[in-house]
């Protein structure tokens, strides 16, 4: 981050080198680096200019924590009232929370920004006819066609196949409807 700051300082300085590449090379030279590092700095700078959250990796600094990291009570309040953030003055904040700060905080709280779905297929997987087709037609057909597929449990461990179920399917036997029911994960 310091290199990025130095490079942008060289670039905008009226007495500094003229041009993007010259400023990159001067910054790389100041850090005792070569042209390859200047190219990396250029990529990092472009990524930063496109998205200010795309920063090069730096080690965590325990002494530099955000307000939300220092105040677990604030973190809990934001989690509980994320939809209606109200007066945050009691947490020592005298200005409203900016969009960028809210995005960073949501990332810290492990929330994601998503677009509101608004197509004809939103919640279509819950319709009775879709669920009926899935249970009665699709899943039995997939079970017959895909007897050699591997399966995993919720912890990611591979589940050993049941040889009797596979032999029934391969010889044309049928499985009961309850044995083919899938549960939502």
Residue 94 maps to a domain: yes
The residue segments making up the domain with residue 154 are 128-180
Total domain count, the chain: 3
CB 16 within 8 A of CB 10: yes
Segment 64-120, tens digit of pLDDT: 677 777 888 888 887 776 645 555 656 667 677 788 888 888 888 888 777 666 666
Segment 130-178, tens digit of pLDDT: 788 888 999 888 888 777 777 888 888 888 877 665 555 444 444 444 4
pLDDT confidence band for 185 (50 / 70 / 90)? very low
Residue 113 maps to a domain: no
Range 132-149 burial, b when 16+ CB lie within 10 A, else e: eeeeeeebeeebeeeeee
Half-sphere exposure of 158 (CA within 13 A, CB side): 4
- Predicted confidence at residue 137, as pLDDT, reads 92
Residue 115 maps to a domain: no
Looking at the structure, do residues 44 and 87 belong to the same domain, yes or no? no
Q: Decide: pTM greater than 0.75.
A: no
Residue 117 maps to a domain: no
Looking at the structure, do residues 6 and 35 belong to the same domain, yes or no? yes
Residue 29 maps to a domain: yes
Q: Residue 93: phi, psi to the nearest 5?
A: -110, 120
């Amino acid at each position: 981050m310091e290199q990025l700051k130095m490079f942008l300082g060289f670039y905008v300085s009226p007495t500094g080198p003229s041009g993007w590449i010259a400023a990159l090379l001067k910054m790389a030279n100041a850090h005792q680096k070569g042209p390859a590092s200047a190219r990396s700095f250029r990529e990092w700078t472009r990524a930063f200019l496109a998205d200010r959250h795309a920063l090069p990796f730096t080690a965590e600094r325990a002494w530099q924590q955000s307000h939300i990291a220092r105040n677990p009570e604030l973190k809990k309040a934001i989690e509980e009232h994320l939809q209606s953030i109200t007066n945050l003055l009691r947490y020592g904040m005298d200005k409203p929370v900016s969009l960028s700060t809210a995005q960073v905080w949501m990332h810290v709280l492990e929330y994601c920004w998503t677009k509101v779905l608004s197509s004809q297929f939103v919640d279509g997987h819950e319709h009775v006819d879709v669920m009926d087709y899935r249970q009665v037609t699709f899943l039995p057909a997939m079970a017959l066609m895909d007897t050699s597929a591997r399966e995993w449990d919720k912890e990611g461990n591979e589940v050993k196949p049941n040889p009797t179920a596979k032999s029934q399917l391969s010889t044309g036997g049928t499985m009961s409807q309850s044995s083919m029911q899938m549960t939502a994960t």
